[in-house]
Structure 1
Amino acid sequence: MSEAAEEFHFSPRANRASEINWHPWSQEAFDEARHTGRPILLSISAVWCHWCHVMDETTYSHPGVIDIINREYVPVRVDNDVRPDINQRYNMGGWPTTAFLTASGDILTGGTYLPPDQMASSLIRVADYYRANQTDIASRVLEARKRAASGVARSVGELEPGLVDTILDAVKSAYDPEYGGFGNAPKFPQADAILLLLEQSVLRSDAELRRMAVNTLEQMTGGGTYDHVEGGFFRYSTTQDWSVPHFEKMLEDHAPLVHALALAGMRNALEKTTGYLDAVLRDPKTGLFAGSQDADEHYYAMDAEERKETPSPYVDRRVYTSWNAALAVAYLEAEKRQVAAKLLDSLFKRAYRRGDGMTHSEGAGGQLGDQVWSLWAAVRAFQHGLGDGWMTVAADLATHIEERYGDSQLGGYFDRAGGDELGRLGERIKPLAENSIVAMALIELDTLLGDPSLPHRER
């Protein structure tokens, strides 16, 4: 079994995916691709992903596919949750991502789930093309890089006064009056849109905005996307009416949904949801929360008595800083102060080093999301009376973010602080969600610090 197979979580059901000579994302893998003249096969998977498991059990267990990959490729396997920066740059539209790369990490082609026959033909076609067209590929790669560089912003934008109105109008126009939520199938919770409606309903004294948000939450908690036995939300619905879910349960999704339930005053749903999180994902010793629980449509179709006789779906016990920090913020908003306090104490003892910010998870360096959610959690901890020391931590994190992630010329913050720049990791990306969080956190922090000499960095 390869080194990567020993450290990577394959499908829990029978499969032969470990017979592929998987490499971790590393300089060694890229060097091997250059020395052998082989393309790289990049598989981006996730512990909780149903179709990733299916691909392990079918495509990556097919003897012919295994043979072609080991003979013609340098296969690299990446966990989306561990390396969101790689996923950001290489995801081909979902999980699993199946990307064919040059030895320098540029994308040749790719897709998501590929059944065995389609995968085998794609592997042969790409390998043959790669061997025979090196000059043409190099030219195409150069052109693609030039186009990407030309699209990078070179001037500072302006904050328009009507921006919130524009976004709110877009949310309202996407709202589904029959089933709640936004758009058609497949339907995701879109918790950020729900939170916007709830917050703006208060600021504008607009009951209709609140009605949209509450109806969405009621439809979700009353439908198939909610686990009515153990509590908690499934990842999304394949249908417009929330009736047929994909059964993964993600900590990342629950943080904003807990916040939304608290703001909406839906106490019963809030208690059932946090009850699931505390009972299944929370480590009672540390107070830290696991990343996810696997999908298992057979288990979740059972009632409470049947589940007692059946092993529950696998829980990925890896702790991710950004998701835990976001949940701490949500728990504080939900007045679950004691759980939030223990969570934050354990998280910062584990992941924080003064001057160096936060790590992402065990063995994985920090990224922007880890820093900004931890910053906001520290600010909220101070505001909720968890101790003056949180203000010191928040100020230190703000300095770290500015120095290591900030764009001193155009403003904003990059998703990575440098380091590994293999393949497309050298591309500088400013993710909208994380930049929005850091802007809100800095507004509150700078207001609390009350120092007029501080730059208006949140702009």
Structure 2
Amino acid sequence: MDEHAADTKVEWREWGEEAFAVADRSGKPVLLSLSAPWCTHCHEMDATTYSEPRIAANVNDGFVPVRVDVDRHPRVRERYNMGGFPSTVFVTPEGEIITGAGYLGIDGFRDILTSVRQTWDAKGTESGRVPRALRDGTPPAGEVTPRIEEHMVEQLLAAFDDEFGGWGTDTKFPLPRTVEFALVRARDQATRTLEAIRTHLLDTYDGGFYRYALERNWGGASREKLLDENAGLIRAFARAYRYTGDEGYREPAEQTVDYLTTTLWTGDAFAASQAGSEEYYQLEPTDREDADAPHVDETVLADRNGLAAGALLALHAYTDDERARRYAERALDHVLTELVDDGEVLHFADPETGEVGEAGLLLDQARVLEGLTTAWQVTGDHAEDARAIADYTLDELQDADGAFRDGPAAGAGLCDRALYPLDTNVELADALLDLAALTGEERYRDAARDAVAAFAGAADRMGVEVAGYAAVTSRLQSPRTFRVGTRAGSDLHRAALRIADHEAVVVPGADVPDGEVHLFEGGEQVGTADTPDSLADLATDA
């Protein structure tokens, strides 16, 4: 239990079957408080609402209160999130949702307690409902066609904010995967968005990117810093540098690597997050020296470390940044040693408390695989590790319709119901396409195609937030592979990493004549090069 929850007057229980069993025996509904170590509003609600004696007494007497760290319990987060954190959710002993809200002050919380008590007394367990995503499964399947990519380009054009950059006219999120999609299809949109992110969300003193901006003009930054979001932006800025050669994109990526390898480095791998503090981040740099920096959650999460390793290796591929490569390899080695067993990835393991997370979650499998396939392309390492994780995922999480479940269909509350998250299916499909090119095994490409096709019937309703889906469909239809007949790290291999666009795959030590690079498009060889210059010409002409 985190210190903020412990300081309240509520008698919190940990997430698990026991809490729901107590609710069933006592005939009480469950109060789920979904919180995160980095969440300022969560801590405010603890210090005010949950610390008010009469509210706490009411909660303790009439409900079974459960605190959930959403970073450590991603499947709970996906099933009970009320649109942000904190999420305050009232559920039946079977885990079905009665009602929920976000942040609640004392008066608002009193009102919802009264409402839930009246509903429960009148209807009991019949007052609960199952969210549609858990009732209906995946969206309709369909055919993977070029129209999906065309539709997404149209969405980019329709949603782009010409005045301030980014997409949409309200809260601005960085959307690094959307930026990457735009880099090869609407580059001006991508670079203008990165410029806005660099200007408004980069902490130029302590390093790292803030989560998002509350205002259309990128003002009102929400100042938490999460490892996965920072990793995504390192990769997006690195790829913008690859396309433009502009140091203005390389420098923010390198500054953020510095933040990850200092503030977020635990000694073994990367920490999960750093909390936001409006008071701290509004201080002048000289005043920050004497102030306590916001709390760092040192939990090593497998999924976020997989993303971070892949991002740092991408930067190394374009810049030869040895620090980035070194820390990426250390983080991957730690994850593989401590959190992976025969291809099954453990979400986290806390050496201080002995607490461990769930194993075999799609989020972890996909993102660690992504880090490993990037490592294979850049350093030539981790071939067998990548195969093992992919094979476990295909065997355990892919259903007959092709979509991947977010984890084992078991657990407390609604965790025993299958959920098929589009974004994580996309991340896994992307990594499987890399692996198919690296191994030459079509079964990985087939699995990726099946996963993508399982959502294709809803493609015409997708917005820019899932532009990565369209990028994967493009890769499926027009695969591009550079097969390099030299070891990783050779001049020819390093040239291939810089010349290949970011949706292509570079295979070092491939089965081609020594000293040659063979370019394949759509499965057919379209050219050969034997020097960096001739390779650049080949890539330009193809």
Give the TM-score of the pair, scaled to structure 1.
0.89
- The Cα of 1:243 is off from its aligned counterpart by 2.2
- Helix, strand or coil at the partner of 1:302: coil
- In structure 2, what is the equivalent of residue 401 of structure 1? 393
* Residues 386/77 of structure 1: CA separation in 2 closer, same or farther (3 Å cut): same
- In structure 2, what is the equivalent of residue 101 of structure 1? 91
170-179 or 153-162, larger mean C-alpha shift: 153-162
Q: Which amino acid aligns with 2:221?
A: P
Alignment RMSD, CA only? 2.0
1:410 correspondence with 2:401: yes
Deviations 1:118-138 (A, max 9, x none): 21222133123312323xx52
- Helix, strand or coil at the partner of 1:457: helix
- In structure 2, what is the equivalent of residue 229 of structure 1? 205
Partner Cα distance (2:292, 2:73) in 1: 29
Q: Which amino acid aligns with 1:384?
A: V
- The Cα of 1:353 is off from its aligned counterpart by 0.9
Deviations 1:238-265 (A, max 9, x none): 1111122111111121111000110111
- The Cα of 1:59 is off from its aligned counterpart by 0.6
Q: Equivalent of 2:169, from 184, 189, 193?
A: 184
- In structure 2, what is the equivalent of residue 314 of structure 1? 295
- In structure 2, what is the equivalent of residue 361 of structure 1? 348
Partner Cα distance (1:160, 1:9) in 2: 51
1:340 correspondence with 2:328: yes
* Residues 259/149 of structure 1: CA separation in 2 closer, same or farther (3 Å cut): closer
Gaps of 5+ in 2: 242-248, 317-323, 350-355, 450-542
- In structure 1, what is the equivalent of residue 252 of structure 2? 269
Percent of pairs with identical residues: 32
Q: Which amino acid aligns with 2:378?
A: H
Partner Cα distance (1:445, 1:396) in 2: 11
1:376 correspondence with 2:363: no
Partner Cα distance (1:337, 1:87) in 2: 32
1:9–1:47 Cα contact (<8 Å) kept = no
1:86 correspondence with 2:76: yes
Partner Cα distance (1:302, 1:149) in 2: 45
- In structure 2, what is the equivalent of residue 162 of structure 1? 147
- In structure 1, what is the equivalent of residue 379 of structure 2? 385
Partner Cα distance (1:60, 1:46) in 2: 16
1:219 correspondence with 2:196: yes
327-336 or 182-191, larger mean C-alpha shift: 182-191
Matches for 1:116-127 after TM superposition, within 5 Å? 116-127=106-117
Runs of 4+ in 1 over 6 A off after TM superposition: 146-150
* Residues 454/179 of structure 1: CA separation in 2 closer, same or farther (3 Å cut): closer
Q: Which amino acid aligns with 2:364?
A: D
* Residues 100/453 of structure 1: CA separation in 2 closer, same or farther (3 Å cut): closer
- The Cα of 1:8 is off from its aligned counterpart by 2.2
- In structure 1, what is the equivalent of residue 478 of structure 2? none
- In structure 2, what is the equivalent of residue 255 of structure 1? 231
Deviations 1:18-56 (A, max 9, x none): x21111112211111111111111110111111111111
- Helix, strand or coil at the partner of 1:59: coil
Partner Cα distance (1:453, 1:69) in 2: 52
- The Cα of 1:359 is off from its aligned counterpart by 0.5
| Structure possessing the higher relative contact order (Cα contacts under 8 Å, 6 or more residues apart) | 2
1:341–1:386 Cα contact (<8 Å) kept = no
- The Cα of 1:191 is off from its aligned counterpart by 1.2
* Residues 10/146 of structure 1: CA separation in 2 closer, same or farther (3 Å cut): closer
- In structure 2, what is the equivalent of residue 3 of structure 1? none
2:203–2:210 Cα contact (<8 Å) kept = yes
Deviations 1:396-446 (A, max 9, x none): 111100111110x201210012331x2211221111111111112112212
1:185–1:237 Cα contact (<8 Å) kept = no
444-453 or 145-154, larger mean C-alpha shift: 145-154
2:224–2:276 Cα contact (<8 Å) kept = yes
